[in-house]
Structure 1
Amino acid sequence: MRRATRVILGLCGLAVWGEFVHWRASRAHTYERLPARSEAVVVLGYRNIRGDRANAMNRWRVRAALRSIDPALASSILICSGGNGGASGSEAVLLARYAVSECGFTGPVQLEEESRSTWQNVENVIPLIEHADQIKIVSNPLHAQKARLYLRHQRPDLAERLVRAADYRFGEAWPLKPLLALHGLRAIARGRRSLARMRRQQGS
């Protein structure tokens, strides 16, 4: 009985840790809100190896992006970013198709179809988000945090417009969160090291 209790407590602790890491990541490097009339909501694509429909991860990211849109603003634009796609188009095309055809989104959509990495996602959407009073980057929360770090490095002025998206919900996909947290924390650590090397090279 004691062993079973320890296992249950351990699993519960792991689940709580996963929730906390995602909750914290969703708020990192963002404001809760800004005085704004316009926004750009950027959804980052995930590798869609085969098929003509967005895969489960991309569908979840689109739904998170759509629930992140603030209906009180005068204008909101959905920007779908990603180059690696399925047989019928880029990640960006698959994301946009799902948003419009299956989720019923009727607002403006722009595509960024050249990116092959998170760094490129951020770099390539900059011309599409410069006009917006506030910016939301949507992915799973730790990946979005990494993208915000990159924006802070590439365009600190635009990073000051980052607002929290709705890509975290308590209990959503909770069995996956510990694994995603481990993967995401490692990716963020690698990203920080890469940025530190860039700064050293620029300073030398």
Structure 2
Amino acid sequence: MLERTGLAAAAAVAVLVWGEWWNWRRSRAVVETGEGVSEAVVVLGYRNPRPTANFVNRWRVRAGLRSVRDGRGQDTRVIFSGGADGDDVSEARLMAGYARSVLGFDGHVLIEDTSRTTWENVTNVLPLLEDVDRIKFVSQPAHAFKARAYLRRRRPDLAGKLVPAHDYRPGEWLLLKPLLALHGMVALRGLEPAERKLPLRPGRRRS
């Protein structure tokens, strides 16, 4: 009995460690070290058929704001991207409202509220990324990785500006990370085979 309990505990720990590792690796994939002072933090929305930001979008906003360089937002634009589900308020506007009214963020905010897919997110924010030195996509690690891969496909000339966001923290969402990893593995099937194998570059972590 004790042996079975020990094996079950070891298996559970192994699953949690795998989930942590998998998400960490995706958070560090397709990024550079990033130089320069100006940056864009692109927070990708999650479907939100409610009049207020849901749990996932609230977390993404917090992850986006903690990704702002030095925490001050100087030379930084935070872009909330996501359209509406039917006649509902857009994901982008709900997230921006949460950032402003609840979290008290007073930095430079831009809204892209027409996108319905990750590809559209990336395509529609491109005009807002042309003149910055650093680009951060914020979401769950697999989703942000997918956005970076799409940017690299859509505009390879901007790929060198991609840097890590702070959307991964050790232990955060610990019990859900294995499920997020499995969901991410399915979602990433939409990428080209070569894109799924893009290099993982740890680089230097910057704020």
Confirm whether residue 61 of structure 1 aligns to residue 60 of structure 2: yes
Q: Say which SS state the counterpart of residue 160 (structure 1) adopts.
A: helix
Structure 2 partner of 1:18: 19
- Structure 2, unaligned stretches of length 5 or more? 197-207
Structure 2 partner of 1:170: 170
Structure 1 partner of 2:125: 125
Deviation at 1:131, TM superposition (A): 1.2
Deviation at 1:186, TM superposition (A): 1.6
Following TM superposition, the consecutive aligned residue runs of length 4 or more in structure 1 with deviations greater than 3 angstroms are 85-88, 193-196
Deviation digits for residues 8-34 of structure 1 (CA, Å, limit 9, x no counterpart): 111100000000001101100012x32
Distance 1:85 1:108 in 2: 26
Aligned residue type for 1:53: T
- Structure 1, unaligned stretches of length 5 or more? 197-204
Q: TM-score, normalised by structure 1?
A: 0.90
Distance 1:38 1:73 in 2: 9
Structure 1 partner of 2:150: 150
TM alignment of 1:82-101, pairs within 5 A: 82-85=82-85, 89-101=89-101
Q: Say which SS state the counterpart of residue 144 (structure 1) adopts.
A: helix
**Percent identity between the two aligned chains:** 51
Distance 2:114 2:193 in 1: 25
Distance 1:86 1:16 in 2: 39
Q: TM-score, normalised by structure 2?
A: 0.89
Deviation digits for residues 89-141 of structure 1 (CA, Å, limit 9, x no counterpart): 10000110011111110001111111110010000000011111100000001
CA RMSD of aligned residues (A): 1.8
Distance 2:195 2:21 in 1: 25
Structure 2 partner of 1:192: 192
Whether contact under 8 Å (1:15, 1:177) holds in the other structure is yes
Structure 1 partner of 2:200: none
Deviation at 1:67, TM superposition (A): 0.3
Q: How many pairs were matched up? A: 194
Deviation at 1:2, TM superposition (A): 1.2
Deviation digits for residues 37-94 of structure 1 (CA, Å, limit 9, x no counterpart): 2000000000112x21110000000000000000377400000000035865100001
Distance 2:194 2:80 in 1: 25
Distance 2:165 2:95 in 1: 17
